[in-house]
Structure 1
Amino acid sequence: MNLQLLETPVYGGTPRDWLITLGLSVAIALVMYLAKPILARRLVAQAQRSRTQLDDAMVAALQATRLWLVSIFALSLGSHYLTLPDRHNDLLKAATAVAFFLQLGFWAGAALNFWLGRSRARAMASNASAATSLSAIGFIAQLVLWTVILLLVLDNLGINITALVAGLGIGGVAVALAVQNILGDLFASLSIVVDKPFVIGDFIIVDNYMGTVENVGLKTTRIRSLDGEQIVFSNSDLLKTRLRNYKRMVERRVLFSFGVAYETPPDLLEQIPATIRKIVEAQSRVRFERAHFQKFGEYSLVFETVYWVTDPDYNLFMDIQQAVNLAIMRALKSERIVFGMPRQSLQLEGPLRLDAGEPEAARSAGNGAKAGAH
């Protein structure tokens, strides 16, 4: 009786056929579930011994395997023991095709992300502009990949993709008008990649903000400031403003001035530019340009000096400037030349009023006296 029950026709097969189908599907899915971590460990071990990147890319692709898509494959294989109606059989074939293309997209996307990540890390060490370009290339590649996958899926579902592509051209205009701000940032991102006003790792100043470029995204650029916080700029706004890129600096021009007292004799004033020249040229990685008695200041005689540091490093510039300042102070002190300081003087004219109790000598000394306050 039980054997007859197993042979009773039930929607495309017998209960025996259905049990075989379900058992085979579960077995295939279970094998894939158990085999995935084992195969991943073997590939990782192989990748560590190999010098090529193919093994690493295979590991990344394997990690992107979706078991729910594998289950659809397993169900499709198991269904060969059944004789389903054409409508349901076509539906299962379409689901299998969709699962196949989706899984193919996940594998290709993971391998692409691995390649882009590895290339970006390698480029950061040698060519930061290439690392910036890879961000945009990655987005475009992923967009093209999933567009192709979507068209293949729709084609297998029986949708006329020729008419769909034509409709997308018209709809794309409407969408572009609706999201023109986002598209503006997107094209600004591409402009940054192509024109390269800055790349990842550059130190830039935008208005009153300064920091190191960390990431150039599709809509925004992220900068790490000197205080540690992250500053986010819209790409389109970033290209509209004036930007200073200090990473592109080859040499640093230094201009500084100081003043000496008006009481300094002209002969000593004449020697000061030559003294400054000697001090500056004594520093390493420096090119002297000029030193002059520039002008008569409000409180002092002003000297101006210009020199170049042949290395753009800011800390090196500050070390050199500190050494120059100290040497100038010592040189002027040895010649007894005093730095000019702000001062005010008060001049009184005419007889001073003295109290009646003061002696006559004090009144005589006070007549016509002049007092100065410094």
Structure 2
Amino acid sequence: MTFSILAAAQTAATKTAARVAPARNDPIADLRDWWDSSVAWVNSHWLQIGIAIAAGLAIYFLLSMIRGFALKRAQATPGEFTLTHIVGRVIHQTKSFVLAIVAVRMVAGYAQPPAVIMQILQLIFTVAVVLQVAIWAREVILGLIQRRASDGHNETLSNAMGIIRLLISVALFAIAAIVILDNMGVNVTGLVAGLGIGGIAIGLAAQGIFSDLFASLSIIFDRPFRVGETIKYDTSTATVERIGLKSTRLRSLNGELLVISNTNLLGKEITNFANLHRRRITFTIGVIYQTTPTMLRDLPALLEEQVVAAGQEFIRSSFLTFGPSSLDFELLFDVFSDEFDVVAAARTDVGIRVFEAMAKAGYEFAYPTQTTFTAAPDGTMIMPFAESPKPKVSAAKIAKPS
């Protein structure tokens, strides 16, 4: 009786342990089962598999033809960074493996593969498409950057494209890796947080470098000035010689080379003298207070006549103010030229013409003068200069006739 009870208890414990203990994995057995199921699938669906392979090959060659046609159209465009060129370059970056996996995925459902094979195809398809989208996005961004900044040969853009390409590639492929891991069921919350903290740390450590780099890109894209143009920066007037990744080199009017960081350069007010189709010249002309009212009224017309005779566009000429030692008139006219030498020659010509005409008409130019009046303690005015000697009279003139 006791033995029977012990035997029954042992049997129950063995069954309970069998239920609790996990089943052992046998890779060889699993591989054998997968092979057997695959062979059975091929034997039962050989016609569907053949049709799917033929359709997949047709789709692959069709996609390859579209890629080749788009590439030829892009290469035939005369512009270097046209939208057609960018689209063609993006399509050219489409990998043949991606075309193949897309064709396989499109026809896989018709062949009704086993669930394991379908899961593998789905995983490969997801990885390939996500990576291909990252490559497409990189080419689109780089193409638009080059299109926006294209103005012939841009040395700064050529130097910066390596860094820009690296930064864009790291950002896009990091996003692609997160998307792939998320589709595989991996918890990417910690990874995203780690990448964010790492990016902040790198940004703080290289803040000055990135600041000048983004300022350089701002100059390239916004184009406040270009190489060869004359600008006024703060209190300096200089010609732009080179726009670098960190600094810009300017050649001042006195010949000095000014090296200014891009961040500081954009932080100041910049006056660009390039592309000026007209330049306004202003003269302030002062005549003496002894000028008659009639001559003052005639002076604006005289000034206008000289500007028109010089071939420039007259704007206005009018009385300006009562100066300390002169009656001031203002003359404004425009010179239509982009060349500073032409503007300087026109200004000189008009100035000389005005001087000649005013001198011929009897006008006198004023210069700073000051008259001082003094008085004695009793209020008698004292002239600020010695009295002129009285003229001598000869004895013959003052002698009385006899």
1:232 Cα deviation from its structure 2 partner = 1.3
- Are positions 1:180 and 2:207 aligned together? yes
TM value normalised by structure 2: 0.48
What is the match of residue 88 of structure 2? none
SS in 1 for 2:274: helix
Asked whether the 8 Å contact 2:373–2:383 carries over to 1, the reply is: no
What is the match of residue 218 of structure 1? 245
What is the match of residue 105 of structure 2? none
Asked whether the 8 Å contact 2:215–2:266 carries over to 1, the reply is: yes
- Are positions 1:337 and 2:363 aligned together? yes
What is the match of residue 29 of structure 1? none
Distance 1:193 1:351 in 2: 70
What is the match of residue 278 of structure 1? 305
What amino acid sits opposite 1:123 in the alignment? Answer: G
Note the aligned Cα RMSD (angstroms).
Answer: 3.8
SS in 2 for 1:193: helix
- Are positions 1:316 and 2:342 aligned together? yes
Asked whether the 8 Å contact 1:189–1:217 carries over to 2, the reply is: yes
Match of 2:273 among 246, 254, 272: 246
1:253 Cα deviation from its structure 2 partner = 1.2
What is the match of residue 85 of structure 2? none
Asked whether the 8 Å contact 1:185–1:236 carries over to 2, the reply is: yes
TM value normalised by structure 1: 0.51
Match of 2:165 among 137, 141, 151: 141
Distance 1:338 1:234 in 2: 51
Distance 2:365 2:357 in 1: 12
Asked whether the 8 Å contact 1:132–1:199 carries over to 2, the reply is: no
1:315 Cα deviation from its structure 2 partner = 1.6
What amino acid sits opposite 1:195 in the alignment? Answer: D
What is the match of residue 152 of structure 2? 123
1:168 Cα deviation from its structure 2 partner = 5.5
SS in 1 for 2:152: helix
What amino acid sits opposite 1:274 in the alignment? Answer: A
In structure 1, the gaps of 5 or more residues are 1-115, 125-129, 149-161, 363-374
- Are positions 1:294 and 2:320 aligned together? yes
Instruction: Return closer, same or farther for 1:344/1:234 CA change in 2, 3 Å cut-off.
Output: same
Match of 1:196 among 200, 218, 223: 223
- Are positions 1:230 and 2:254 aligned together? no
- Deviations along 1:156-185, one digit per CA (max 9) or x if unpaired, are xxxxxx999996654222111122122111
**Number of matched residues?**
223
What is the match of residue 325 of structure 1? 351
1:249 Cα deviation from its structure 2 partner = 2.4
SS in 1 for 2:368: coil
What amino acid sits opposite 1:181 in the alignment? Answer: G
Distance 1:243 1:266 in 2: 44
What amino acid sits opposite 2:268 in the alignment? Answer: T
Distance 2:356 2:162 in 1: 59
Instruction: Return closer, same or farther for 1:360/1:139 CA change in 2, 3 Å cut-off.
Output: closer
1:275 Cα deviation from its structure 2 partner = 0.9
Distance 2:245 2:390 in 1: 91
In structure 2, the gaps of 5 or more residues are 1-145, 173-187, 375-380, 393-402
Instruction: Report which stretch shifted further, 330-339 or 225-234.
Output: 225-234
Match of 2:295 among 260, 268, 283: 268
Asked whether the 8 Å contact 2:212–2:261 carries over to 1, the reply is: yes
Distance 1:344 1:225 in 2: 40
- Deviations along 1:310-331, one digit per CA (max 9) or x if unpaired, are 1132221221111111111111
Asked whether the 8 Å contact 1:281–1:287 carries over to 2, the reply is: yes
Give % identity. 37
- Deviations along 1:94-115, one digit per CA (max 9) or x if unpaired, are xxxxxxxxxxxxxxxxxxxxxx
- Are positions 1:207 and 2:240 aligned together? no
Asked whether the 8 Å contact 2:288–2:325 carries over to 1, the reply is: yes
What amino acid sits opposite 1:306 in the alignment? Answer: L
Distance 1:326 1:221 in 2: 40
- Deviations along 1:140-163, one digit per CA (max 9) or x if unpaired, are 236668999xxxxxxxxxxxxx99
Asked whether the 8 Å contact 1:133–1:194 carries over to 2, the reply is: no
Asked whether the 8 Å contact 2:282–2:332 carries over to 1, the reply is: yes
- Deviations along 1:207-255, one digit per CA (max 9) or x if unpaired, are 1222122222222122122233321111111111111111142311111
Instruction: Return closer, same or farther for 1:296/1:243 CA change in 2, 3 Å cut-off.
Output: same
SS in 2 for 1:247: coil
Instruction: Return closer, same or farther for 1:233/1:361 CA change in 2, 3 Å cut-off.
Output: closer
SS in 1 for 2:321: strand
Instruction: Return closer, same or farther for 1:343/1:226 CA change in 2, 3 Å cut-off.
Output: closer
Asked whether the 8 Å contact 1:276–1:328 carries over to 2, the reply is: yes
5 Å matches for 1:145-164?
Answer: none
Distance 2:297 2:238 in 1: 43
Distance 1:171 1:279 in 2: 70
What is the match of residue 101 of structure 1? none
Distance 2:165 2:325 in 1: 66
Asked whether the 8 Å contact 1:224–1:231 carries over to 2, the reply is: yes
Asked whether the 8 Å contact 1:205–1:211 carries over to 2, the reply is: yes
